[in-house]
């Protein structure tokens, strides 16, 4: 199933919202340094280990934790209600309100209440509900939904806020955040003092003592839980932790990861009923704790998705997401934004709602490197995509291409050769710079690579060299892009490895690694392609060398995962995986015997782009840098944000060409600002994107695979 | 008293806009409170009399400052200054924490624009876990525990940091070295 047209339009509209862009860019730029400062002196990785393990354990024992929590809280005077669904939660809260004659409610921020549309439910019963978190209140007055879990109104400007307040209060408001905040204090204080009921969420619920933990900067949760005589806390079951030690660990991570603060202004712990003021005297507060399931136990019991229960709702995954930074939270539809949001939406709100937004994930993997709960969000999104595709099927076009062309090597290669002829009217200097009609959007921001005159497989006889006393034998797995678009990378791999004493071969039966099918959600096709390649690569070579990280990941990991239910094939996949070696990794292990050929001191400035899959999935970013530094004619200069995605993401460029282009623009700026002559990388996918983008931008910076530079081709460029 | 903890506490609290004053004796601490009250030109303050603030009450009254100890929230919120004792400090974050089960202690710390808290210097702990252990001395957590780090703040409008949204805009922490008052 393809992304809906409406969704693409919504994404593009958000992409062109200047205010949104300004706010998100500013925050996105400030965030990494703020986070780093906040974590200074902390062992972040140990903290992530602790939290992920504690949350995993809590999820595994959720029934016991909830029961213990309920016992402890009831012992301290709380009334505990377990709501299986949104309706049950809404009805319970409405009943408490009705039985106590509640007319007005103040709320402190609760995403769970947004999720179940609690406000609407209470308002329909004639109850006035006021959000008291400043951002939430603004959103409420505007009739919108939050666009970020921690900063709900990040998409709005002071001008819009002033306009909203002016309209609501019937008085002219200055466009000054300080003055607007004072007005909010004045207005909301009245609401607090008159409210009959306070509704809050909770950041944590503690099983060992029945305590609720709430964090705010504004202090509105304190007033919500102190002033009205009734307090209702709505807590999702994913918020439960075993004990106070875990609480302190999450308190360490949550504000640091969320906004780069070392702690929020207020941390409130409520453990049972407390004194309150009612009708002129101090009485015990009526405390209700509504425990919300609403799809969560299904998520927690799922063998793959249970990982999502390790989320502590810091939203740091959004803060570093290159896509979220461009489109903001509203595009994701329901309540929860970003990659983690689409997973939550699928379980809490329904798979249909999650289908379009899950496509926004470009699989760069940045979020997984910083998540305090160590959730591999892109992996979960990919799993969701595959499950949805298995249920709904691919679109006609996707299905046709994957099933009838890409998965059939003969047909695929024949098509590629035919495409070479068909591209003639458009191809120049190795690029397709313009395409006609509805295809034009694909060449608007970057030129496309032309199919090479001769694929690598045809060039092998020319570059294959007899190696005397070889150190080892390697089979080269080229992958589609090197084989058909950039065969020069393949010949460079052959030349340099042969120079270092490796006997090279090119197994003819190799075909596409199946990653495109897997990323599009078509596991069946990916499985067939895995088998084809395993057969082709079962040679007597010591290594199977790749120069593409996506292919390497497929060969090393995906094949085993895809074939895990077939013991014979799984074993063959594992054997292959054991031989797979990345090109730069292998080059690093081989001593260079050639005397460095320095050319009268003339050096080229090279900057290195960390391809997401190369850097994060393979963890090899230091290898090519080592190789480049060893070359006398290369001066390695680091660019800013070298590990930031280039915007390629395979089929992403077709699904969301405009978003892809925006991500690329930032990369191109970083490349140009580095002052380098050449940008090196180890991923043919990134090469497509950046060659195309730099060509379109008229830049003089050349894009090269590390292999090409090592083969001494930089000077000829 | 671990001076390293004290200076870390002070540095972290000041970094989030709290004011920190150190007094050698209880007497000096009370004088600090009186000075702040006089400077603010208020004739009436909210204050609960327990622990560190017990002997403060007569001193305030001697200085012709009316002390409100309890009342309806809509009356108490008109007070400019609320004064409370707190139980523990956390050096790592510059936080103060107290058993806030007493309703009026909560009111004075939440409703008034200025919140003055008195903390014994010796009660500064290194981190959150130690502070919680101290607060749990009755075997379990108090019914309402408040951890306070700097004044109330928001950045919800264009991420501009604004102090004093729902809670106090000013937090003054007075550290008292003397151990028996």
Q: Residue B148: which of A519, A605, A263 has the closest Cα?
A: A263
A87 phi, psi to nearest 5 deg: -60, -45
Cα–Cα dist A605/A603, whole Å: 7
A18: which chain B residues are within 8 Å (Cβ-Cβ)? none
B136: which chain A residues are within 8 Å (Cβ-Cβ)? 244
Residue of A nearest to B162 (CA): A178
Residue B161 Cα, gap to closest chain A Cα (Å): 8
A200 close to A233: Cβ distance less than 8 angstroms: yes
Q: Residue A286: which of A470, A138, A80 has the closest Cα?
A: A80
DSSP A307: G
Q: What is the pLDDT of residues A496-528, one digit of tens each?
A: 999 999 999 999 999 999 988 888 888 889 999
Judged by a CB distance cut-off of 8 A, whether residue B165 touches chain A is: yes
Q: What is the pLDDT of residues B28-64, one digit of tens each?
A: 999 999 999 999 999 999 999 999 999 999 999 999 9
Residue range A108-114: average pLDDT? 94
Over 90: is that where the pLDDT of A658 sits? yes
Q: Choose among B73, B143, B148: nearest Cβ to A193.
A: B73
pLDDT recorded at residue A406: 73
A272: which chain B residues are within 8 Å (Cβ-Cβ)? 143
Judged by a CB distance cut-off of 8 A, whether residue B102 touches chain A is: yes
pLDDT recorded at residue A244: 97
Percent of chain A whose predicted confidence (pLDDT) is above 90: 79
Query: What's the per-residue H, E or C state across A452-466?
Result: CCCCHHHHHHHHCCC
Instruction: Give the residue from A163, A198, A217 with the most B CB atoms within 10 Å of its CB, the best one to mutate.
Output: A217
Confidence of residue B171 (pLDDT cuts 50, 70, 90): very high
B134 burial type by CB count under 10 A (0-12 exposed, 13-18 middle, 19+ buried): middle
pLDDT recorded at residue A611: 97
A352 close to A384: Cβ distance less than 8 angstroms: no
Helix, strand, coil shares of chain B, percent, nearest 5, are 35, 30, 40
Judged by a CB distance cut-off of 8 A, whether residue B69 touches chain A is: no
Cα–Cα dist A155/A153, whole Å: 5
A250: which chain B residues are within 8 Å (Cβ-Cβ)? none
B155: which chain A residues are within 8 Å (Cβ-Cβ)? 151, 217, 259
Residue range A78-103: average pLDDT? 98
Tokens representing residue A572 in the block: 């063959």
pLDDT recorded at residue A150: 81
Q: Choose among A181, A247, A272: nearest Cβ to B162.
A: A181
Is the Cα dihedral B16, B17, B23, B28 positive or negative? Answer: negative
Which residue did the predictor score with more confidence, A125 or A401?
A125
- The answer to whether the A63-292 and A604-710 domains have the same CATH topology is yes
Percent of chain A whose predicted confidence (pLDDT) is above 70: 98
Tokens representing residue B100 in the block: 């806030």
What is the residue extent of each domain of chain A?
Answer: 63-292, 604-710
Residue of B nearest to A222 (CA): B110
Residue of A nearest to B112 (CA): A189
Residue B149 Cα, gap to closest chain A Cα (Å): 4
Over 70: is that where the pLDDT of A606 sits? yes
Residue range A606-619: average pLDDT? 95
Q: Residue A658: which of A3, A155, A1 has the closest Cα?
A: A3
Over 80: is that where the pLDDT of A400 sits? no
Cα Dmax for chain A: 98
Judged by a CB distance cut-off of 8 A, whether residue B153 touches chain A is: yes
Over 60: is that where the pLDDT of A486 sits? yes
Judged by a CB distance cut-off of 8 A, whether residue B77 touches chain A is: yes
Q: What is the pLDDT of residues A692-706, one digit of tens each?
A: 999 999 999 999 999
Confidence of residue A407 (pLDDT cuts 50, 70, 90): confident
Cα–Cα dist B105/B49, whole Å: 9
Judged by a CB distance cut-off of 8 A, whether residue B149 touches chain A is: yes
Residue of A nearest to B12 (CA): A262
DSSP A306: G
Over 60: is that where the pLDDT of A2 sits? yes
DSSP three-state, residue A431: strand
Cα–Cα dist A217/B132, whole Å: 20
β-bridge pairing A230-236 and A197-200: parallel
Place of tokens 């504000």: A255
pLDDT recorded at residue A289: 98
Interface contact flag, B103 A27, Cβ < 8 Å? no
Q: What does the mean pLDDT of chain A come to?
A: 93
Residues near B165 by beta carbon (within 8 Å), at least 6 away in sequence: A134, A181, A184, A185, A218, A219, A220, B152, B153, B154
Q: Residue A199: which of A220, A181, A213, A215 has the closest Cα?
A: A220
A131 close to A107: Cβ distance less than 8 angstroms: yes
Residue range A373-393: average pLDDT? 91
Q: What is the pLDDT of residues A177-236, one digit of tens each?
A: 999 999 999 999 999 999 999 999 999 999 999 999 999 999 999 999 999 999 999 999
Judged by a CB distance cut-off of 8 A, whether residue B85 touches chain A is: no
Q: Residue A109: which of B114, B156, B107, B161 has the closest Cα?
A: B156
Cα–Cα dist A165/A134, whole Å: 12
Paired strand residues for A234:
A290
Instruction: Give the residue from B73, B165, B168 with the most A CB atoms within 10 Å of its CB, the best one to mutate.
Output: B165
Residues near B77 by beta carbon (within 8 Å), at least 6 away in sequence: A189, A193, B107, B111, B112
Cα–Cα dist A449/A214, whole Å: 53
Over 90: is that where the pLDDT of A352 sits? no
Residues 114-133 of B with CB under 8 A from A: 127-129, 132
pLDDT recorded at residue A601: 65
Interface contact flag, B159 A134, Cβ < 8 Å? no
A246 close to A301: Cβ distance less than 8 angstroms: no
Over 60: is that where the pLDDT of A340 sits? yes
Q: What is the pLDDT of residues A241-270, one digit of tens each?
A: 999 999 999 999 999 999 999 999 999 999
pLDDT recorded at residue A599: 55
Q: What is the pLDDT of residues A527-553, one digit of tens each?
A: 999 999 999 999 999 999 999 999 999
Cα–Cα dist A379/A179, whole Å: 45
Q: DSSP readout, A126-178? A: T-EEEE-SHHHHHHHHHT---SSSS-TTTT--HHHHHHHHHHHHTS---S-HH
Note the CATH architecture for domain A63-292.
Answer: 3-Layer(aba) Sandwich (3.40)
Judged by a CB distance cut-off of 8 A, whether residue B82 touches chain A is: no
DSSP A714: T
Q: Would you tell me which CATH number, out of the four given (3.60.150.10, 3.40.190.10, 3.20.20.100, 3.40.50.10700), belongs to the domain A604-710?
A: 3.40.50.10700
Tokens representing residue A652 in the block: 């992403």
Is the Cα dihedral A651, A319, A18, A672 positive or negative? Answer: negative
Residue A101 Cα, gap to closest chain B Cα (Å): 21
Confidence of residue A419 (pLDDT cuts 50, 70, 90): confident
Residue range B100-112: average pLDDT? 97
CA A288 to chain CA centroid, Å, is 36
pLDDT recorded at residue A438: 66
Comparing A277-291, A340-354, A677-691, which segment has the lowest mean pLDDT? A340-354
pLDDT recorded at residue A413: 78
Interface contact flag, B165 A218, Cβ < 8 Å? yes
Percent of chain B whose predicted confidence (pLDDT) is above 70: 100
A675 close to A605: Cβ distance less than 8 angstroms: yes
Interface contact flag, B148 A218, Cβ < 8 Å? no
pLDDT recorded at residue B139: 86
pLDDT recorded at residue A427: 80
Judged by a CB distance cut-off of 8 A, whether residue B93 touches chain A is: yes
Q: Would you tell me which CATH number, out of the four given (3.40.50.2300, 1.20.58.220, 3.40.50.10420, 3.40.50.720), belongs to the domain B3-175?
A: 3.40.50.10420
Interface contact flag, B155 A151, Cβ < 8 Å? yes
Judged by a CB distance cut-off of 8 A, whether residue B145 touches chain A is: yes
Interface contact flag, A189 B151, Cβ < 8 Å? no
Cα–Cα dist A128/A135, whole Å: 18
Interface contact flag, A132 B166, Cβ < 8 Å? yes
> Residue A379 to residues A53, A364, A368, A446: CA-CA distances in angstroms?
18, 10, 9, 28
Q: Residue A354: which of A329, A376, A374, A336 has the closest Cα?
A: A336
Instruction: Give the residue from A39, A243, A265 with the most B CB atoms within 10 Å of its CB, the best one to mutate.
Output: A265
pLDDT recorded at residue A716: 57
B69: which chain A residues are within 8 Å (Cβ-Cβ)? none
Residue A191 Cα, gap to closest chain B Cα (Å): 11
Tokens representing residue A366 in the block: 């940045």
A475 close to A541: Cβ distance less than 8 angstroms: yes
pLDDT recorded at residue A394: 76
pLDDT recorded at residue B132: 97
Which residue did the predictor score with more confidence, A150 or A614?
A614
B141: which chain A residues are within 8 Å (Cβ-Cβ)? 209, 211, 244, 269, 271
B72: which chain A residues are within 8 Å (Cβ-Cβ)? 277, 280
Cα–Cα dist A457/A478, whole Å: 9
Interface contact flag, B103 A262, Cβ < 8 Å? no
A517 close to A525: Cβ distance less than 8 angstroms: yes
Residue A96 Cα, gap to closest chain B Cα (Å): 22
A476 close to A511: Cβ distance less than 8 angstroms: no
B99 close to B132: Cβ distance less than 8 angstroms: no
Residue B159 Cα, gap to closest chain A Cα (Å): 7
Q: What does the mean pLDDT of chain B come to?
A: 96
Residue A157 Cα, gap to closest chain B Cα (Å): 6
Which residue did the predictor score with more confidence, A163 or A145?
A163
Residue A225 Cα, gap to closest chain B Cα (Å): 10
pLDDT recorded at residue A424: 79
Residues 15-54 of B with CB under 8 A from A: 16
Q: Choose among A182, A263, A270: nearest Cβ to B95.
A: A263
User: Residue A382: which H helix or E strand, with range?
Assistant: helix A377-392
A592 close to A630: Cβ distance less than 8 angstroms: yes
B102: which chain A residues are within 8 Å (Cβ-Cβ)? 275
Q: Choose among B73, B148, B154: nearest Cβ to A218.
A: B154
Residue range B60-77: average pLDDT? 96
Query: What's the per-residue H, E or C state across A6-41?
Result: HHHHHHHHHHCCHHHHHHHHHHHHHHHHHHHHHCCC
B123 phi, psi to nearest 5 deg: -90, 10
CA angle at A137 for the pair A131 and A140, rounded to the nearest 5°: 90
Q: Residue A188: which of A128, A234, A144 has the closest Cα?
A: A128
Residue of A nearest to B102 (CA): A275
Instruction: Give the residue from A162, A181, A213 with the most B CB atoms within 10 Å of its CB, the best one to mutate.
Output: A181
> Residue A262 to residues A58, A217, A508: CA-CA distances in angstroms?
25, 12, 57
Interface contact flag, A272 B143, Cβ < 8 Å? yes
DSSP three-state, residue A290: strand
Confidence of residue A1 (pLDDT cuts 50, 70, 90): low
Tokens representing residue A588 in the block: 């690093």
Cα Dmax for chain B: 48
pLDDT recorded at residue A596: 54
A177: which chain B residues are within 8 Å (Cβ-Cβ)? 157-158, 160, 162
Q: What is the pLDDT of residues A425-463, one digit of tens each?
A: 778 888 888 877 667 777 888 888 888 989 999 999 999
CA angle at B58 for the pair B52 and B59, rounded to the nearest 5°: 80
């Amino acid at each position: 199933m393809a992304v809906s047209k409406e969704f693409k339009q919504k994404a593009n509209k958000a992409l062109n919202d200047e205010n949104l862009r300004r706010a998100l860019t500013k925050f996105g730029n400030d965030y990494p340094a703020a986070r780093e400062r906040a974590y200074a002196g902390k062992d972040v990785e140990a903290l992530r280990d602790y939290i992920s393990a504690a949350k995993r354990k809590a999820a595994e024992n959720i029934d016991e934790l909830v029961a213990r929590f309920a016992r402890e809280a009831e012992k301290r005077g709380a009334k505990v209600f377990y709501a299986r669904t949104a309706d049950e939660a809404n009805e319970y809260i409405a009943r408490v309100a009705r039985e106590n004659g509640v007319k007005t409610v103040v709320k402190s921020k609760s995403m769970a209440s947004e999720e179940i549309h609690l406000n609407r439910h209470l308002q329909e019963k004639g109850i006035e509900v006021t959000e008291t978190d400043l951002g939430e209140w603004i959103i409420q007055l505007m009739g919108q939904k939050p666009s970020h879990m921690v900063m709900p109104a990040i998409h709005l400007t002071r001008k819009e806020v002033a306009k909203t307040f002016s309209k609501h209060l019937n008085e002219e408001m200055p466009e000054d955040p300080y003055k607007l905040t004072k007005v909010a204090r004045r207005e909301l204080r009245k609401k607090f003092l008159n409210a009959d009921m306070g509704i809050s969420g909770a950041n944590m619920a503690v099983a060992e003592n029945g305590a609720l933990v709430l964090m705010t900067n504004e202090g509105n949760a304190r007033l919500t839980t102190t002033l009205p005589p009734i307090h209702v806390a709505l807590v999702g079951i994913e918020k439960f932790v075993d004990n106070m030690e875990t609480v302190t660990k999450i308190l360490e991570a949550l504000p640091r990861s969320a906004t780069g603060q070392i702690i929020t202004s207020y941390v409130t712990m409520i453990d049972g009923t407390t004194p309150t003021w009612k009708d002129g005297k101090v009485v015990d507060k009526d405390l209700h704790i509504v425990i919300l399931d609403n799809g969560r136990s299904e998520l927690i019991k799922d063998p793959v998705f249970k990982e999502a229960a390790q989320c502590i709702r810091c939203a740091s995954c959004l803060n570093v997401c290159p896509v979220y930074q461009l489109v903001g939270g509203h595009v994701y539809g329901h309540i929860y934004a970003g990659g983690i949001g689409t997973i939550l939406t699928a379980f809490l709100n329904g798979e249909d709602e999650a289908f379009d937004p899950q496509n926004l994930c470009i699989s760069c993997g940045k979020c997984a490197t910083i998540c305090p709960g160590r959730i591999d969000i892109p992996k979960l999104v990919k799993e969701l995509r595959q499950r949805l595709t298995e249920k709904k099927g691919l679109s006609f076009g996707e299905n046709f291409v994957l099933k009838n062309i890409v998965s059939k090597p003969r047909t695929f290669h024949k098509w590629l050769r035919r495409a070479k002829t068909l591209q003639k009217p458009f191809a120049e200097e190795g690029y397709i710079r313009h395409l006609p009609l509805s295809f034009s959007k694909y060449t608007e921001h970057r030129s496309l690579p032309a199919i090479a005159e001769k694929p690598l497989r045809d060039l092998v006889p020319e570059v294959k060299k007899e190696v005397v006393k070889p150190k080892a034998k390697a089979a080269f797995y080229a992958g589609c892009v090197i084989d058909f678009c950039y065969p020069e990378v393949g010949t460079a791999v052959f030349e340099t490895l042969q120079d270092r004493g490796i006997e090279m071969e090119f197994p003819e039966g190799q075909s596409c690694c199946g990653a495109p099918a897997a990323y599009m959600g078509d596991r069946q096709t990916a499985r067939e392609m895995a088998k084809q390649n395993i057969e082709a690569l079962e040679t007597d070579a010591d290594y199977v060398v790749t120069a593409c990280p996506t292919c390497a990941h497929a060969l090393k990991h995906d094949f085993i995962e895809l074939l895990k239910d077939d013991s014979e094939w799984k074993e063959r996949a594992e054997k292959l995986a054991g031989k797979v070696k990345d090109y730069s990794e292998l080059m690093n292990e081989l001593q260079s015997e050639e005397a460095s050929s320095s050319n009268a001191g003339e050096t080229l400035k090279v900057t290195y782009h960390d391809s997401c899959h190369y850097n994060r999935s393979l963890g090899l970013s230091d290898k090519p840098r080592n190789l480049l530094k060893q070359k006398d004619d290369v001066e390695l200069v680091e660019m800013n944000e070298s590990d930031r995605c280039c915007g390629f993401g395979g089929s992403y460029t077709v699904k969301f060409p405009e978003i892809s282009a925006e991500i690329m623009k930032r990369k191109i700026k970083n490349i140009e600002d580095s002052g380098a002559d050449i940008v090196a990388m180890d991923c043919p996918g990134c090469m497509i994107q950046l060659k195309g983008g730099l060509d379109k931008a008229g830049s003089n910076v050349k894009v090269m695979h590390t292999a090409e530079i090592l083969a001494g081709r930089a000077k000829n460029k | 008293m671990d001076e390293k903890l004290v200076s870390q506490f002070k540095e972290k609290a000041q970094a989030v806009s709290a004011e920190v004053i150190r007094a050698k004796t209880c007497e000096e601490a009370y004088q600090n409170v009186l000075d702040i009250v006089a400077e603010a030109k208020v004739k009436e303050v909210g204050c609960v009399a327990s622990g560190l603030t017990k002997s403060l009450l007569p001193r305030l009254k001697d200085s012709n400052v009316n002390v409100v100890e309890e009342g309806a929230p809509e009356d108490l919120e008109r007070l400019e200054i609320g004064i409370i004792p707190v139980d523990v400090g956390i050096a790592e974050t510059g936080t103060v924490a107290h058993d806030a089960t007493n309703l009026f202690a909560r009111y004075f710390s939440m409703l008034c624009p200025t919140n003055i808290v008195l903390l014994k210097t010796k009660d500064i702990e290194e981190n959150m876990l130690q502070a919680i252990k101290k607060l749990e001395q009755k075997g379990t957590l108090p019914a309402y525990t408040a951890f306070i780090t700097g004044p109330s703040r928001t950045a919800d409008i264009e991420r501009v940091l604004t102090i004093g949204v729902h809670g106090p805009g000013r937090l003054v922490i007075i550290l008292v070295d003397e151990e028996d008052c």
